């Protein structure tokens, strides 16, 4: 008799442990750790992951596993182990860690069905229920839960008139297609063809098709349409065992109808050559090393990636490439598919659940060797990993902002160590954390200081918008920028205008009394949405009408402040009426494929100006772009975020890199209200090193990363006093438990003190070495487990948070 330890799909403190089950006889040899199963759990059935298979169990009254969902484990031994690590490092539930590693399609869906036990009993049951069973024997719980009191159903269930069935369903199935293939050899087939009479015309055609065809099998649909015959005649042949019918899995391929221009490795320049040598060495020596490839925009990092991967493939190994969601553009995909063709799987949020699942299946079945994808692609179930690349290493989207709050960079280092393979972090503006590690030789620094073909970085001009205002220019464009735009228009060159929306919202304010309209449930101002003429809250979704007069003073001078891309577009057209503008923001790119369409349009020169938000900051490479304008450089600087300067520097550098990437020289105009700020100044001079030094000093002064590690505990509750008092208790507990060198700040109200009618307090922990931190924080959660479950208390823990909001 064999037993399985199972982690069940119930994300809760009390169920966050293994439960043992008996493995039924027929699956004794089949069940392996890492497989998904369906198990009875209390009165219901849930999905679970087998973590161990063993010969005994300490528990006595064991139940049987109900169903086995996988033929091969979907979690490799490595991923199972990684699950333990994730659970410990991010303080999440084991089940959440497992689910984060798999495509959403593999998460179970639960259904509750009420089934009538015998038709003859229909008259016995509650009159209320009878009409529902008039035509059918089964009802979906969802359809009746609001129609009939639950007690009625429970009573009938107790009387054995009804049965409640708990079903576990898969979100997405494999896409199956019916295939027809030949079941006999060519000679037999020919004999059979000759034996057919003239009446069997269609059958003859079908057999003839297979006789002259190279392929042994063909999708049913295709066969029918090619020969214009009916399914009946095929069925006849299947019945006679000449043909055979089978279901086969097919992939939903999002790139099916696209062809990729095959590319060959480019000649590397001296710098690239110097950078790739240690990488190839590490591959050769099967050595785990982390490389920080610090390469200015346009220095040809991607070509180094491609040639490194080529080496890895030649060694018979696999590679993972992470790219930020936002720059996972077709341009980027093309570069990888162009070089490695069908060996590449692509994983990003633009794909449907089914498409993502299919790409993942290609990885699982080892049909691809390279994965290009966003954050979660770091969990690709490769078993022979030879390299992990994280492009744009500094991007904050590599950190998941929900449980498990992991950073893909940390997972990459873990996996690199497991597989003893190199990890490459690439960026033009590395995070201070990574650059500091490179300075201490923890990471190996590879530098690409020049752009390929020695093109110079575009000249950057900083425009002081306060000065503009003083000279009477009240528009959002400086005279300088308008002149340059006009110039490009005249020359037929293109411009990119970047509107920094982060940290900036279009709030509504009364010009008479200064009243700002806020959300009723959150302490945050509402955002004006022109499209629906309404005010929305970004945190809870609350929506209300745009008022015609101020709710405070009844003044009619109430209007919205702030700038959306729509507004900017209108403003440009006032000054440059002949300009053709493409606008890119969440509104214009929400439809599938819209993003790509707009970029293609711009690339083909069908517009003069590309106007957009964050999403145009990186990856774009258009030869005709010679001007980049940043409308508001400093909106982020005012956020309560210790990384504000770093993010501003990164963004300005990235955006500047969009201009003059080809023959035509580029120019950049940065508009700002704080031109003297070092992040603006140094970005304009492309001086990363000086920025690094300056920012490091400030981080040191304030005990922020990379000098200290950071953890943030956020406590929320519907009552202010409760939230505050619990935070107070937690802070004093932490002060007792943690070392004296550790800095514990709080309790303080969160930067956003209330979200969805919940008051938020936080406590910040700054530490250098704190061996027991994870255990201590876990103790905190355990201590409040009761209140979390019953009293609507939420304690959120973020180890190494990206933002302090």
Partner DNA sequence: AGCACGCCGACT
Partner DNA sequence: GTCGGCGTGCTC
String of DSSP letters for 563-597: --HHHHHHHHHHH-TT--EEEESHHHH-STTHHHH
C-beta of 6 vs 584, nearer to DNA: 6
Give min distance, CB of 786 to DNA, in A: 8
Give min distance, CB of 780 to DNA, in A: 16
The verdict on whether residue 540 carries a ligand-binding annotation is: yes
The verdict on whether residue 537 carries a ligand-binding annotation is: yes
**Of positions 27, 53, 62, 288, contacts DNA by CB under 7 A:** 62
Candidates 57-65, 227-235, 277-285, 643-651 — which segment interacts with DNA by CB under 7 A?
A: 57-65
Return the DSSP state at 113: E
Q: Which residue spans within 74-204 are E strands per DSSP?
A: 108-116, 138-140, 162-170, 175-182
C-beta of 166 vs 260, nearer to DNA: 166
Q: Are 773 and 4 in contact (CB under 8 A)?
A: no
Q: Is residue 200 a contact residue for DNA (CB under 7 A)?
A: no
Contacts 24+ apart (CB under 8 A), 780-786: 780/713, 780/730, 780/733, 780/734, 781/13, 781/91, 782/13, 783/733, 784/726, 785/13, 785/14
Residue span 596-625 as binding mask against DNA, x where in contact by CB under 7 A, dash where not: ------------------------------
Rounded-to-integer distance, Cα 23 and Cα 21, Å: 6
**Of positions 32, 107, 112, 521, contacts DNA by CB under 7 A:** 112
C-beta of 732 vs 786, nearer to DNA: 786
Angle at 753 between CA 549 and CA 526, to 5 degrees: 30
Residue span 5-34 as binding mask against DNA, x where in contact by CB under 7 A, dash where not: -----xxxxxx---xxxx------------
**Of positions 25, 29, 56, 61, contacts DNA by CB under 7 A:** 61
Q: Are 539 and 756 in contact (CB under 8 A)?
A: yes
The verdict on whether residue 522 carries a ligand-binding annotation is: yes
**Of positions 1, 28, 59, 159, contacts DNA by CB under 7 A:** 59
**Of positions 55, 151, 212, 259, contacts DNA by CB under 7 A:** 151
Rounded-to-integer distance, Cα 276 and Cα 387, Å: 13
C-beta of 154 vs 453, nearer to DNA: 154
Give min distance, CB of 788 to DNA, in A: 7
Q: Is residue 165 a contact residue for DNA (CB under 7 A)?
A: no
Residue given tokens 């969990």 in the structure block: 379
Give min distance, CB of 183 to DNA, in A: 44
Please count the residues of this chain forming the interface with DNA, following the rule CB under 7 A: 30
**Of positions 28, 30, 42, 547, contacts DNA by CB under 7 A:** 42
Rounded-to-integer distance, Cα 479 and Cα 639, Å: 28
| Burial classification of residue 678, based on how many CB atoms lie within 10 Å of its CB (0-12 exposed, 13-18 middle, 19 or more buried) | middle
Return the DSSP state at 518: B
Q: Is residue 40 a contact residue for DNA (CB under 7 A)?
A: yes
C-beta of 383 vs 792, nearer to DNA: 792
Rounded-to-integer distance, Cα 79 and Cα 163, Å: 39
C-beta of 146 vs 199, nearer to DNA: 146
C-beta of 167 vs 461, nearer to DNA: 167
Candidates 29-37, 55-63, 531-539, 625-633 — which segment interacts with DNA by CB under 7 A?
A: 55-63
**Of positions 27, 166, 251, 539, contacts DNA by CB under 7 A:** 166
Subset of 763-802 contacting DNA (CB under 7 A): 789-790
Give min distance, CB of 19 to DNA, in A: 4
C-beta of 112 vs 202, nearer to DNA: 112
The verdict on whether residue 519 carries a ligand-binding annotation is: yes
Contacts 24+ apart (CB under 8 A), 101-104: 101/75, 101/376, 101/379, 102/74, 102/75, 102/360, 102/379, 103/353, 103/356, 103/357, 103/360, 104/171, 104/353, 104/356, 104/357
C-beta of 165 vs 749, nearer to DNA: 165
Q: Using CA atoms in the order 483, 489, 490, 493, what is the torsion angle rounded to 10 degrees?
A: 110
Candidates 39-47, 227-235, 344-352, 688-696 — which segment interacts with DNA by CB under 7 A?
A: 39-47
Give min distance, CB of 38 to DNA, in A: 12
Bridge-based pairing of strands 758-767 and 709-717 is antiparallel
C-beta of 43 vs 472, nearer to DNA: 43
Rounded-to-integer distance, Cα 340 and Cα 186, Å: 36
**Of positions 34, 35, 36, 41, contacts DNA by CB under 7 A:** 41
Q: Is residue 128 a contact residue for DNA (CB under 7 A)?
A: no
CB atoms within 10 A of CB 270: 8
Rounded-to-integer distance, Cα 606 and Cα 586, Å: 21
Rounded-to-integer distance, Cα 419 and Cα 387, Å: 9
Give min distance, CB of 151 to DNA, in A: 4
Q: Is residue 63 a contact residue for DNA (CB under 7 A)?
A: yes
- CB under 8 Å to 137, separation ≥6 — which residues? 115, 116, 119
Query: Which has the closest alpha carbon to 392: 331, 307, 323, 309?
Result: 323
Rounded-to-integer distance, Cα 46 and Cα 109, Å: 9
Rounded-to-integer distance, Cα 223 and Cα 202, Å: 12
The verdict on whether residue 229 carries a ligand-binding annotation is: no
Coil/strand/helix, residue 668:
strand
**Of positions 118, 149, 547, 605, contacts DNA by CB under 7 A:** 149
Give min distance, CB of 14 to DNA, in A: 3
The verdict on whether residue 92 carries a ligand-binding annotation is: no
Angle at 496 between CA 495 and CA 498, to 5 degrees: 150
Rounded-to-integer distance, Cα 749 and Cα 764, Å: 11
Q: Point out the annotated binding site for Zn(2+).
A: 510, 513, 519, 522, 537, 540, 550, 553
- Positions touching DNA (CB under 7 A) are 10-15, 19-22, 39-44, 57, 59, 61-63, 110, 112, 149, 151, 154, 164, 166, 789-790
Q: Point out the annotated binding site.
A: 510, 513, 519, 522, 537, 540, 550, 553
């Amino acid at each position: 008799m064999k037993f399985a330890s199972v982690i069940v799909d119930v994300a809760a403190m009390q169920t966050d442990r293994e439960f043992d089950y008996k493995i039924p006889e027929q699956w004794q040899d089949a069940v392996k750790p890492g497989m998904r199963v369906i198990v009875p759990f209390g009165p219901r059935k849930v999905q679970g992951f087998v973590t161990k298979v063993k010969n005994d169990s300490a528990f006595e009254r064991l139940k049987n596993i109900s169903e086995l969902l996988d033929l091969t484990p979907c979690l490799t031994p490595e991923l199972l182990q990684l699950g333990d690590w994730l659970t410990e490092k991010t303080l999440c539930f084991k089940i959440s860690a497992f689910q984060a590693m798999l495509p959403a399609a593999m998460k179970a869906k639960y259904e509750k069905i009420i089934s009538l036990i015998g038709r003859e009993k229909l008259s016995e049951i509650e009159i209320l229920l009878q009409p529902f069973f008039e035509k059918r024997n089964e009802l979906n719980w969802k359809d009746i839960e609001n129609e009939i009191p639950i007690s009625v159903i429970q009573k009938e269930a107790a009387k054995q008139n009804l049965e409640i069935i708990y079903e576990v369903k898969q979100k997405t199935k494999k896409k199956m297609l019916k295939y027809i293939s030949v079941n006999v050899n060519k000679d037999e087939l020919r004999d059979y063809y000759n034996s057919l009479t003239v009446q069997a015309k269609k059958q003859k055609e079908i057999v003839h098709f297979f006789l002259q065809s190279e392929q042994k099998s063909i999708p049913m649909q295709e066969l029918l349409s090619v020969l214009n015959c009916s399914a009946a005649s095929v069925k006849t042949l299947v019945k006679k065992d000449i043909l055979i019918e089978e279901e086969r899995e097919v992939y939903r391929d999002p790139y099916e109808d696209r062809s990729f221009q095959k590319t060959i490795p480019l000649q590397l320049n001296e710098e690239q050559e110097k950078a790739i040598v240690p990488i190839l060495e590490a591959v050769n020596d099967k050595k785990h090393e982390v490389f920080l490839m610090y390469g200015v925009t346009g220095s040809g990092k991607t070509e180094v990636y491609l040639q490194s991967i080529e080496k890895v493939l030649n060694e018979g190994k696999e590679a993972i490439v992470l790219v930020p969601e936002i720059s996972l553009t077709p341009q980027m995909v093309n570069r990888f598919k162009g070089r490695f063709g069908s060996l590449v799987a692509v994983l990003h949020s633009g794909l449907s659940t089914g498409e993502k699942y299919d790409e993942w299946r290609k990885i699982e079945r080892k049909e691809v060797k390279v994965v290009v994808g966003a954050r979660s692609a770091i969990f690709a179930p490769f078993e022979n990993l030879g390299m992990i690349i994280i492009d744009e290493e500094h991007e904050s989207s590599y950190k998941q902002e929900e449980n498990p709050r992991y950073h893909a960079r940390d997972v990459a280092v873990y996996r690199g160590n497991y597989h003893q393979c190199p990890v490459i972090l690439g960026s033009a503006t590395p995070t201070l954390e990574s650059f500091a590690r490179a300075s201490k030789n923890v990471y190996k620094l590879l530098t690409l200081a020049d752009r390929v073909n020695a093109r110079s970085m575009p000249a950057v001009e900083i425009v002081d918008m306060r000065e503009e205002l003083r000279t009477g220019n009240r528009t959002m464009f400086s005279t300088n920028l308008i002149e340059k735009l006009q110039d490009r228009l005249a020359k037929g060159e293109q411009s990119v205008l970047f509107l920094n929306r982060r940290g900036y919202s279009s709030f509504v304010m009364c010009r008479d009394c200064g009243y700002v309209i806020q959300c009723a449930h959150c302490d945050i101002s509402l955002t004006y949405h022109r499209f629906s003429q309404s005010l929305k809250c970004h945190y809870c979704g609350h929506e209300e009408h745009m008022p015609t007069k101020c709710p405070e003073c009844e003044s009619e001078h109430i209007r919205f402040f702030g700038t959306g891309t729509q507004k900017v577009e209108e403003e440009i057209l006032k000054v440059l009426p002949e300009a053709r503008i493409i606008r890119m923001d969440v509104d214009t790119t929400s439809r599938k494929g819209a993003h790509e369409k707009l970029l293609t349009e711009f690339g083909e020169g069908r517009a003069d100006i590309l106007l957009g938000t964050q999403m145009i900051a990186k990856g774009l490479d258009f030869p005709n772009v010679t001007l980049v304008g940043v409308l508001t450089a400093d909106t982020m600087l005012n956020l309560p975020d210790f990384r504000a300067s770093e993010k501003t520097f990164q963004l300005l550098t990235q955006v500047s890199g969009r201009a003059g990437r080809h023959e035509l020289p580029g120019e950049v105009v940065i508009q700002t209200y704080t031109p003297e700020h070092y992040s603006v100044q140094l970005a304009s001079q492309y001086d990363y090193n000086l920025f690094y030094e300056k920012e490091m000093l400030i981080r040191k002064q304030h005990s922020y990363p990379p000098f200290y590690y950071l953890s943030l505990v956020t406590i929320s509750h519907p009552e202010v006093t409760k939230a505050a008092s619990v935070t107070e208790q937690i802070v004093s507990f932490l002060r007792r438990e943690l070392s004296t060198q550790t800095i514990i700040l709080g309790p303080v109200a969160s930067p956003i003190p209330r979200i969805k009618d919940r008051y938020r307090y936080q406590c910040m922990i700054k530490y250098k070495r704190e061996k027991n931190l994870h255990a201590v924080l876990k103790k905190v959660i355990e201590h409040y487990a009761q209140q979390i479950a019953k009293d609507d208390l939420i304690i959120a823990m973020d180890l190494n948070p990206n933002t302090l909001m």
